[in-house]
């Protein structure tokens, strides 16, 4: 049988050796922590040519809780959330970049970037589509105003006022469509 003082001494030596090994491993891997990574998950591909003046990008990070900073035309980064839509893009070359910001460490030093080109748009712009939707809504308001039952003089005046307001709104919406489309 081994005396108990030998067992305690050997256990103490093993504990010290284990602590030393852990310390060596920690020192060896210090500064080699996994860097945060940003990935654009949707939107125009790098080098793609678009025929619309709008581009929407979705993105994510491999670190839960990360926030993001975006760069439009690679002119500095500002806080943003996914997805991001770039609208009214002129004809020519464009770029979108995004980097994750790690709440517990350094930011992504290698932002994900997409460069793409916009040709003369062949379809309606997003603003044109919205203007068209405004016309549809204005027509519905006018129809509703005309359909109102008005028996008293006061009700007839209110109906006339509602119709006038709806017609004015329809004119503004039609002018906007003419301007944008």
Q: For residues 127 and 130, what is the distance between their CA atoms, to the nearest angstrom? A: 5
Does 77 share its domain with 108? yes
Does 27 share its domain with 54? no
Does 103 share its domain with 151? no
pLDDT (tens place) for every residue of the chain, 181 residues total = 555 444 444 444 444 434 433 433 333 334 446 789 999 999 999 999 998 889 999 999 999 889 999 999 989 999 999 999 999 899 999 999 999 998 888 889 999 999 999 997 666 777 788 888 999 999 999 999 999 888 898 999 999 999 999 999 999 999 988 887 7
Q: What residues have CB less than 8 Å from 170, skipping those under 6 apart?
A: 135, 138, 139, 141, 142
Q: What is the CATH number of the domain that holds 104?
A: 2.60.40.10
Does 28 share its domain with 42? no
Task: Find out whether the peptide bond into 83 is cis, omega within 30 degrees of 0.
Answer: yes
User: Which residues form the domain of 2?
Assistant: 1-32
Does 139 share its domain with 169? yes
- Identify the helix (H) or strand (E) that includes residue 95: strand 92-101
Does residue 57 contact residue 84 with C-beta atoms inside 8 Å? yes
Does 1 share its domain with 66? no
Of the residues 94, 118, 142, the one at which a domain ends: 118
* Secondary structure percentages of the chain, helix, strand, coil, to 5: 40, 25, 35
What's the number of domains the chain is made of? Answer: 3
Q: For residues 99 and 84, what is the distance between their CA atoms, to the nearest angstrom? A: 13
Q: Which of 75, 81, 78 is nearest to 95 (CA)?
A: 75
Q: For residues 179 and 181, what is the distance between their CA atoms, to the nearest angstrom? A: 6
Pairing of strands 84-86, 49-50: unpaired
Does 74 share its domain with 137? no
pLDDT at 83: 96
Write down the H helix ranges in 33-152: 126-147
pTM for the model stands at 0.52
Does 45 share its domain with 100? yes
């Amino acid at each position: 049988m081994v005396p108990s003082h030998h067992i305690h001494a050997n256990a103490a030596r093993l504990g010290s050796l284990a602590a030393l090994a852990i310390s060596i491993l920690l020192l060896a891997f210090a500064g080699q922590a996994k860097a945060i990574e940003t990935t654009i998950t949707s939107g125009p591909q790098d080098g793609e040519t678009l025929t619309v003046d709008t581009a929407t990008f979705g993105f994510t990070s491999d670190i839960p809780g990360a926030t993001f900073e975006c760069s439009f035309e690679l002119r500095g980064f500002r806080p943003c959330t996914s997805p991001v839509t770039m609208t009214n893009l002129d004809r020519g070359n464009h770029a979108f970049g995004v980097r994750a910001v790690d709440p517990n460490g350094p930011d992504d030093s290698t932002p994900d970037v997409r460069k793409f080109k916009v040709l003369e748009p062949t379809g309606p712009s997003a603003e044109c589509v919205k203007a068209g939707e405004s016309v549809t809504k204005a027509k519905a308001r006018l129809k509703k105003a005309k359909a109102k039952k008005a028996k008293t003089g006061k009700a007839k005046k209110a109906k006339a006022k509602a119709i006038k307001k709806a017609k004015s709104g329809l004119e503004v919406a039609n002018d906007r469509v003419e301007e944008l489309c």
